[in-house]
Structure 1
Amino acid sequence: MKKLFYFVPLLVIWSCTANISTDTNTPDSTQVTPLIVETPMPDSVLRHVVLFGFKETSSPEDVQKVIDAFKALPSKISEIKGFEWGTNSSPEGLNQGLTHAFTLTFHSDADRDAYLPHPAHKEFGGIVGPHLDKVTVVDYWTKP
């Protein structure tokens, strides 16, 4: 009886899979093959770190407008390969009034150099400029 207990589930599984076709040459109008183009990851990447301190007169809505505009840049500037941001959470108290950190990743100096004068970056400068009290920018190369 125990042997039958193990045999029946195996028989059910086999019968369910026996009718599955493995013929990949049969066209199926519902099957979609995605086109995936992968760019090889470089050995090193360029991180462009931007730190902002906002004016006391800037409202939370003003700050959010700046954040949203910065977050939109990767969709407008193809040379930006990565983007992340956050607010200071260090307990050390050494941020010197800088409250928001943004990190952009580039694959080359040329990509970063194309970003700096890009019209979308210039437009962003007009949005952030009136609200900045302090800004610091540091670029460095690192292994991903």
Structure 2
Amino acid sequence: MKHLITLVALALLSVTTYAHNFNSEPPAKKMKATSVQHIVLFKFKPETTPAKLKEILDAFQALPSKIKEIKDLKWGTNNSPENHAHGLTHGFVLTFDSEKDRDAYLPHPAHKEFGTIVGPWIADLTVLDFTDQAK
């Protein structure tokens, strides 16, 4: 009987371990040593309508299809409980393989066109770029 309980316990342990690993997210991929994260934070003017905001967001999300140097785009609205956003409401993180690719993006006609769409509606803007220095 003691052996049966041990076998059942081991079987349950292996099943729960397998289930945990099966449902786990894949480990995050480390950036290339030269990758650049381009972070853009927007605060929109109060008169920005939901329809205008949707147009702006759609235009930003279309940039990777127009600019080959953009390797990834993530974005979202602020949900931090820390109250340090200074009115910034929307954040975007664009990934480039290198500073050279980021530098090609900045004057790109599609990026300039996006600037004409978003520019009149921006109350404040913060941009920060970095290359991963984590070991």
**TM-score of the superposed pair, with normalisation by structure 1:** 0.69
- Report runs of 4+ in structure 1 exceeding 2 Å deviation: 41-44
**Residue 134 of structure 1 corresponds to which residue in structure 2?**
124
1:42 to partner: Cα distance? 3.0
Q: Name the count of aligned residue pairs.
A: 104
Q: For 1:52, what is the secondary structure of its paired residue? A: strand
**1:31-90: CA deviations, max 9, x gaps?**
xxxxxxxxxx73341100000000001101111111100000000000001100000000
**1:108-136: CA deviations, max 9, x gaps?**
11100000000000000000001100000
Which residue, out of 82, 95, 101, partners 1:92? 82
**Residue 109 of structure 1 corresponds to which residue in structure 2?**
99
**Residue 72 of structure 2 corresponds to which residue in structure 1?**
82
Identity %: 56
**Residue 30 of structure 1 corresponds to which residue in structure 2?**
none
Conserved in 2, the CA contact under 8 Å of 1:45 and 1:143? Answer: no
Which residue, out of 47, 60, 75, partners 1:70? 60
1:57 aligns with 2:47: yes
- 2:67 is matched by which residue type in structure 1? I
**Residue 5 of structure 1 corresponds to which residue in structure 2?**
none
1:121 aligns with 2:108: no
Conserved in 1, the CA contact under 8 Å of 2:33 and 2:131? Answer: no
Structure number with larger C-alpha Rg: 1
Two-structure CA RMSD over aligned residues (Å): 1.5
Q: For 1:81, what is the secondary structure of its paired residue? A: strand
**TM-score of the superposed pair, with normalisation by structure 2:** 0.74
- 1:92 is matched by which residue type in structure 2? E
**Residue 13 of structure 1 corresponds to which residue in structure 2?**
none
| Runs of at least 5 residues in structure 1 that lack an aligned partner in the other structure | 1-40
